[in-house]
Amino acid sequence: MANKKSGIVEGHKARKRFGQNFLHDPNIIANIVSAINPKSEDLLVEIGPGLGAITSELIEPLAQLHVVELDRDLIPFLIAKFEHTGKLNIHQADALSFDFSELTGDSGKKLRVVGNLPYNISTPLIFHLLEQSQHIQDMHFMLQKEVVDRLAAGVGDKAYGRLGIMVQYHCEVTPLFEVPPGSFNPPPKVDSAIVRLAPYSEKPFPTSDPDLLQRVVTAAFSMRRKTLRNALKNLATTDHMEAAGIDPSHRPEKVSLQQFVALTEELINNPMAD
Q: How far apart are CA 93 and CA 160, in angstroms?
A: 33
Q: What is the pLDDT of residues 252-265, one digit of tens each?
A: 999 999 999 999 99
pLDDT class of 12 with cuts at 50, 70, 90: very low
Instruction: Look at residue 185 and tell me whether its pLDDT is greater than 80.
Output: no
* pLDDT of 223: 83
Residues 6+ apart with CB under 8 A from 83: none
In order of 92, 140, 214, 229, 252, the CA distances from 223 in angstroms are 40, 31, 15, 11, 9
Selected residue with higher pLDDT from 5 and 92: 92
* 270 within 8 A of 242, measured Cβ to Cβ: no
Least confident of 38-42, 66-70, 270-274: 270-274
Mean of pLDDT over the chain: 90
Report angle CA 103, 55, 14 to the nearest 5 degrees.
Answer: 105
The fold of the 210-269 domain, in CATH, is Helicase, Ruva Protein; domain 3 (1.10.8)
The fold of the 9-199 domain, in CATH, is Rossmann fold (3.40.50)
The pTM for the full model equals 0.89
Residue 68 pairs with which residues in a beta bridge? 47, 91
Q: What is the pLDDT of residues 137-171, one digit of tens each?
A: 999 999 999 999 999 999 999 999 999 999 999 99
What is the rounded (10 degree) CA torsion for 219, 225, 230, 236? 40
What integer is the mean pLDDT of 112-118?
A: 92
Domain borders along the chain are: 9-199, 210-269
pLDDT class of 21 with cuts at 50, 70, 90: low
Selected residue with higher pLDDT from 15 and 4: 15
* pLDDT of 273: 74
Go through 109-132 and write b for each residue having 16 or more CB atoms within 10 A of its CB, e for each that does not: ebbbbbbbbbbebbbebbebbbeb
Residue 98: count of CB within 10 angstroms of its CB:
19
Q: What is the pLDDT of residues 186-229, one digit of tens each?
A: 787 889 999 999 999 999 999 999 999 999 999 999 987 899 99
- The distance of Cα 105 from the centroid of its chain, to the nearest Å, equals 22
In order of 72, 103, 129, 164, the CA distances from 153 in angstroms are 37, 32, 20, 6
